[in-house]
Chain A
């Protein structure tokens, strides 16, 4: 399976036209069968991906594309050349729009083109056998199905070309894999034995018997652990002595949303919305609305917290880059939004419309003083009035929270909490500002440690102050991801932790096996010294 496809521009003879068209139709049918197989095989947790494959089938059968390809063949071009030519035309058309979704469809069309060409040019179909390890330059999703069906052990790729969809389907099918292995194909010989260690990202060719035994044992341990973890995910998020701490997921894009059902978290504690700024039509409120609604619906009845656009410092979507002397201390977060009121209001409007579902919250980043809080709330009230005048319904009681991630905010938590509906501690930036050390600078990163007693002291105080105002507080920085620190965090009395899907099982495991009273004592001892 070579990623490099050589297209023949050679013309064909008139008598071969019918043959070429038949070849085309067979390849389309083969691919359609593959897509349908994948779509049927994915269980209901992956219905978005299954839908995508159904869309692929529709695109494959698009009469416009088909007619034009057949037309080309009838003009004495080979099937592969015609497919390449016509698909490229449509891909260009979709790419030239300003629509983010249509651009994504262009990528799907590109993948379909490659699969179709592969099918056309390699007339022998690829057969996998049980326990085979597939070694390839890049992987395409229809092959994943063949791998699963054959009972192959897994695959390894030379290039890092796993699209998000491939990665998710590979995970959905539980296919072990390692990608981006330089010179992989040179090192491999047909028929050799190898071990795929997908957890550590290793591919071991011709392992020793000792190595084999080591991995056999490891495999057993992991299977046992997975059974236990699966059970954990169904348990309530509370300690042994019934102290509730919600464990929620962070979300960066719609593709990750598929993981939500599998992990069964208590909701989404942080949706980073900056990805929407990479589309050219960010001022299209409908597109934003669609995006937020999809997330809110999927998570319903659990809650979703959307953090509004947090631009600046090390995050600059295309078209928003600007020069500053000190980006980390500059126009970022809410400051940026105050300078771009139209953008701010559009996002709030889209979010308020989605709030009809009554399960969403809005989170405002980078607050430095009370004026930031008051001004944000005033702007939100303006948008609410506008919606009232237009008789558009929204959740009148929607919760608006603020992030504590600057030292000033940390020191005035009580006053901020008074005006907020909830608080979220951004420990990454908070740590950076507390120690005056750049997160992105290797030379200063020594100052930043999630285990810092000072940081825990500060967190402890923020939680205390927030609770004094009768409000709840969550933590959504990297510190929440570290399961070795979960017990200390429980000891701070925090109400919720939000982290990446990958480590939720371990963090939840810590939670349900801990005793709140003990955690509190542990924390107090920790920050005392």
Chain B
């Protein structure tokens, strides 16, 4: 299991379109993915879950990945966060 805290760098935060990009990514991998913020934990493969996280610009989300391809999964997620979920 790998845990990492990542920052939301795009100005609009984790609104619908980025949320969809996150879920598109996480759904490709076998490992379980969870996103946690302010005590709220959601399934990273659930679009509704990720949307309701409503993480704003500058907030930090704890990513928890657990499974056979967890290293690659976390790498790709980190990349996505750095790119502002494909919006920057």
A: residues with CB less than 8 A from B are 51, 54-55, 58-59, 62-65, 90, 93-94, 97, 99, 101-102, 105, 109, 286, 289-290, 293
- The CA-CA distance from A286 to B45 in the complex, in Å, is 25
Shortest CB-to-CB span from A206 to chain B, Å, is 47
Given known contacts A289-B11, A289-B12, A290-B12, A65 and B54 CB-to-CB distance under 8 angstroms: no
- Assess the B16–A63 pair: CB atoms within 8 A: no
Q: Can you name the residue of chain B whose Cβ is closest to the Cβ of A56?
A: B47
Given known contacts A54-B20, A286-B11, A290-B15, A64 and B49 CB-to-CB distance under 8 angstroms: yes
- Assess the A99–B54 pair: CB atoms within 8 A: yes
- Assess the A59–B47 pair: CB atoms within 8 A: yes
Proximity string of chain B (9-52) to chain A, C-beta cutoff 8 Å, 1 when within and 0 when not: 00111011100100110000000000000000001011111011
Residues of B within 8 A of A63 (CB): 43, 45-46
Given known contacts A55-B16, A99-B54, A94 and B48 CB-to-CB distance under 8 angstroms: yes
- Assess the B57–A286 pair: CB atoms within 8 A: yes
- Assess the A105–B11 pair: CB atoms within 8 A: no
Q: Can you name the residue of chain B whose Cβ is closest to the Cβ of A63?
A: B45
Q: Check: B56 CB closer than 8 A to any chain A CB.
A: yes
Q: Across the A-B interface, how many residue pairs have beta carbons closer than 8 Å? A: 53
- Assess the A105–B57 pair: CB atoms within 8 A: no
- Assess the A105–B46 pair: CB atoms within 8 A: no
- Assess the B56–A286 pair: CB atoms within 8 A: yes
| Additional 8 contacts, C-beta under 8 A, given A97-B54, A102-B52, A102-B54 | A55-B47, A58-B24, A62-B45, A63-B46, A90-B48, A99-B54, A286-B12, A290-B15
Given known contacts A54-B20, A101-B15, A59 and B48 CB-to-CB distance under 8 angstroms: yes
Residues of B within 8 A of A58 (CB): 20, 23-24, 47
Shortest CB-to-CB span from B52 to chain A, Å, is 7
Checking A64, A97, A105 against B16 with a beta-carbon cut-off of 8 angstroms, the contacting residue is A105
Given known contacts A55-B20, A97-B54, A65 and B12 CB-to-CB distance under 8 angstroms: no
Shortest CB-to-CB span from A321 to chain B, Å, is 28
Residues of A within 8 A of B45 (CB): 62-63
